[in-house]
Amino acid sequence: MTIAEKILVVEDNPLNLELLRDILLAEGYDVIEASDGAAGIEIARLERPDLILMDLQLPGIDGFEVTRRIRADARLASIPIIAVTAHAMKGDDERARAAGCAAFVTKPIEVRELVAVVAESLRRRGSLDGGGGSA
The residues that touch Mn ion, with contacts defined as CB under 5 A, are: 12, 55, 57
State how beta strands 51-55 and 6-10 pair.
parallel
Nearer to Mn ion, 5 or 32 (CB): 32
Measured from each CB, the residue nearest to Mn ion is: 57
Provide, rounded to whole angstroms, the least separation between the CB of residue 13 and Mn ion. Answer: 5
Shortest CA distance to 55 belongs to which of 29, 28, 27, 86? 86
Provide, rounded to whole angstroms, the least separation between the CB of residue 12 and Mn ion. Answer: 4
Task: Please state, in angstroms and rounded to a whole number, the distance separating the CA atoms of residues 36 and 26.
Answer: 24
Burial category of 123 from C-beta neighbours within 10 Å (exposed 0-12, middle 13-18, buried 19 and up):
exposed
Nearer to Mn ion, 13 or 119 (CB): 13
Provide, rounded to whole angstroms, the least separation between the CB of residue 16 and Mn ion. Answer: 7
